[in-house]
Amino acid sequence: MKLILLGPPGAGKGTVAANVEALGRCHHISTGDLFRQHLRNDTPLGREVRSYMEAGELVPDELTVRLVEARIVQEDGSIEDFVLDGFPRTIPQAEALDELLGRHGTEIAAVILLQVSDEEIVNRLSSRVVCTGCGEVYNLNSKPPQVAGVCDSCGGRLDRRADDSEATVRQRLEGYHRQTEPLIDYYGSRDLLLPVDSSGAPAKTQAKVAQALMELIASRPDLAHS
Ligand code: AP5
In a domain, 109, yes or no: yes
Q: Which of 5, 37, 58, 123 to mutate to test ligand 1, by most ligand atoms within 8 A of the CB atom? A: 58
Distance CA 19, CA 97 (A): 23
Indicate yes or no: pTM above 0.85. Answer: yes
Ligand 1 centroid, distance to 190 Cα (angstroms):
25
Does residue 196 have its Cβ closer than 6 Å to ligand 1?
A: no
In a domain, 184, yes or no: yes
Query: Do 219 and 192 form a contact (C-beta atoms < 8 A)?
Result: no
In a domain, 122, yes or no: no
Report the chain's mean pLDDT, rounded to a whole number.
Answer: 94
In a domain, 53, yes or no: yes
In a domain, 177, yes or no: yes
- Give me the domain span that covers residue 72: 2-117+172-225
At 128-150, the pLDDT tens digits run 999 999 989 999 998 999 999 99
| Sequence-ordered list of residues with C-beta below 8 angstroms from that of 25, at least 6 positions apart, any chain | 1, 81
At 59-108, the pLDDT tens digits run 999 999 999 999 999 988 889 899 999 999 999 999 999 999 999 999 99
Number of domains in the chain: 1
Confidence at 17, pLDDT banded by 50, 70, 90: very high
In a domain, 203, yes or no: yes
In a domain, 36, yes or no: yes
Nearest protein CA to atom 1 of ligand 1, as residue: 32
Residues carrying an active site annotation = 13, 89, 128, 161, 172
Does residue 206 have its Cβ closer than 6 Å to ligand 1?
A: no
In a domain, 166, yes or no: no
Does residue 143 have its Cβ closer than 6 Å to ligand 1?
A: yes
Residue 199 phi/psi, 5-degree rounding, is: -85, -15
Domain with residue 63: its CATH number is: 3.40.50.300
